[in-house]
Amino acid sequence: MTFDVGIIGFGPAGMSAAIYAKRFGLSTIVFEHGISGGNAALSPLIENYLGFPEISGSDLVAAMENHAKKYVDKFVDEKVADVSGGTGRGFELETRREREKVRALIIATGTKHRELGVPGEQKLRGRGVSYCATCDGFFFRNKKVAVIGGGNTAAVEALYLRDLGAEVYLIHRRDKLRAEEVYYKRLNEKKVNLVWNTVVKEILGEKKVEALRLENRVDGTVSEIQVNGVFVAIGDDPQNEIPKMLGVTLREDGYVAVDQNCRTNVKHVYACGDITGLFNQVVVAAAQGALAARSAYEDLTKI
């Protein structure tokens, strides 16, 4: 069977694309090998999605997923290993066990957490080094932890860990957070320890995280801080392997270049959500998913 639209990724963008594609009368197949909902599912708290003043990422994503799956003709819980075709002839997507054909392709692969790239990080990954407070925070209740980063994600994770009873150090390489002002106020109210102008040089420990070696970027002094865990929240990198396979144009930062209607430079290939690097917010991803589906409909039906 050849599906009208193949969607790779089932976060808010992919879910929205599935709903709109089906409502436009297009048959849809979705590929998702990770957790449905992407990074949004891992957020402890979302306060800026329209209609939900306060909701956990997992709850919001669960509602979206229940809605979207009603519109999916086939769901493949596997990673797309290879994509071929194009030039208006459709595409063939191959996983470990399946091979499917689609007329158009919507890429909603999102981003992955950026790593520090310091000694000890890989060795102690899963042994105190984490990239998701929602996933692993429970194990650090009433312990001492560090969160690395200065954006909204880092601030939210620090507050979440503090609410679990952890003593939290938020370590940022600059002298001011990039996070919204509302988070800065809450960090002070919750008595999160803010460590400015500091970078992590090494994560120390034999079988588990025991300490961090830090360097002050202003005076160059090196110090150590004893912690039981470290949560890395320094940003994300685009998961652009599929676009590269197809010859899709990427921006200098690796994100997919799209027009205002989510079309790429490759015929019948569209991208939406965080992979476009526009504004990594759930509301934007959902809107782009709808746009991508509409563009696919217009192009496939020659409207």
Which residues does the annotation mark as catalytic?
A: 132, 135-136
Buried b / exposed e over 11-49, threshold 16 CB at 10 Å, is bbbbbbbbbbbbebebbbbbbbebebbbbbbbbbebeeb
Q: By the 8 A CB rule, do 202 and 227 touch?
A: no
In three-state secondary structure terms, 74 is strand
Q: By the 8 A CB rule, do 136 and 124 touch?
A: no
Q: Which of 70, 90, 84 is nearest to 4 (CA)?
A: 90
In three-state secondary structure terms, 283 is helix
Three-state SS across 79-145?
Answer: CCCEEEECCCCCEEEECCCCEEEEEEEEECCCEEECCCCCCCCCCCECCCEECCHHHHHHHHCCCEE
What is the sign of the dihedral through the CA atoms of 32, 33, 38 and 42?
A: positive
Non-local CB neighbours of 4 within 8 Å, separated by 6+ positions? 21, 26, 27, 28, 102, 103, 104, 296, 300
Q: By the 8 A CB rule, do 111 and 100 touch?
A: no
Other CB atoms closer than 10 Å to residue 253's CB: what's the count? 8
Kindly state the DSSP code that residue 191 receives in the 8-state scheme: T
